[in-house]
Amino acid sequence: MSNNNYSDQYEEPSPNYKFLDEDKWRTSHAPLRLRKNPLEVEPCVQGKCTSANQYIEFKTWMAREWSVYVAEVELLRRDVEKCWFKHGVDVIRHCKEEVLAYSKAINEKTIRENMTKLREGKKIVE
């Protein structure tokens, strides 16, 4: 196997990269390697994966992407709450955009569409 076209899921860190408490936790003098981000994972086609490793990586990727979506929905909810506390009585007039964005994000149809995108290997949140 030639070294020219070999690539794995890790990359070498840049020379200026500073790890936290590098001297305290390092036990070897080998250079540290960073995982490439984002890790490109092929989706399982019609529920069939080529290997167990692909299945595990794909499920891990799906869970990570779903947690990003959930965090974004949580931020939208906090925006609605903040607007609610700020405007009090005039909520309907002042917080319409926030409420619409939040209600669209938690709509059952939107959630179904996002799960379908994930199963196809597409990102929900860019």
pLDDT of residue 2: 46
- pTM of the full structure: 0.62
Q: Report in angstroms the alpha-carbon separations of 47 from 41, 50, 60, 78, 113.
A: 14, 10, 15, 36, 18
What are the helix (H) ranges across the chain?
A: 22-25, 52-87, 91-94, 96-105, 108-119
pLDDT of residue 102: 92
pLDDT of residue 113: 93
Instruction: Write the CB contacts of 124 (distance below 8 Å, at least 6 apart in sequence).
Output: 65, 66, 68, 69, 114, 117, 118
50-108 pLDDT, tens digit each = 888 888 888 888 888 899 899 999 999 999 999 999 988 788 789 999 989 999 999 99
pLDDT of residue 50: 81
6-37 pLDDT, tens digit each = 555 555 555 555 555 455 454 555 655 555 54
